[in-house]
Amino acid sequence: MKHLEHFCKMINLAVKLEWLDRNPFHAYQLKFEKVEREYLTTWELANLEAKTSPILRLQTIKNLFVLIVIPDWPILMYSI
């Protein structure tokens, strides 16, 4: 929704500078839904670590994600 907020601000600026006659989003109201996110379980983390990919780029991204999620993981295990 952040992109829509910035877009609406730019439209309002364009109306203020008289580049547009009217604001097409005048009646539109942004709605935000609060989402409760859960932590990954140890089973999910172990399952993620076990996955392999034939594409080196995807394997590297997965390794970086696991490294960020589990800070105690030894860095030597990853060859980037």
Domain boundaries, the chain: 1-36, 38-80
What share of the chain in percent tops pLDDT 90? 31
How would DSSP label each residue in 33-76?
---PPPPPPHHHHHHHHH---SSHHHHHHHHHHHHHH-TTS-GG
Place of tokens 């392999």: 52
Instruction: Read off the pLDDT of residues 43-58 as tens digits, 9 standing for 90 and up.
Output: 888 888 888 889 999 9
What's the rounded Cα separation, in Å, for the pair 46 and 54?
19
Q: What is the DSSP letter of 72?
A: T
Q: Which amino acid is at 25?
A: F
pLDDT of residue 76: 46
What's the rounded Cα separation, in Å, for the pair 78 and 64?
8
Q: With a cut of 50, say whether residue 7 has pLDDT above it.
A: yes
pLDDT of residue 41: 84
This model's pTM is above 0.75: no
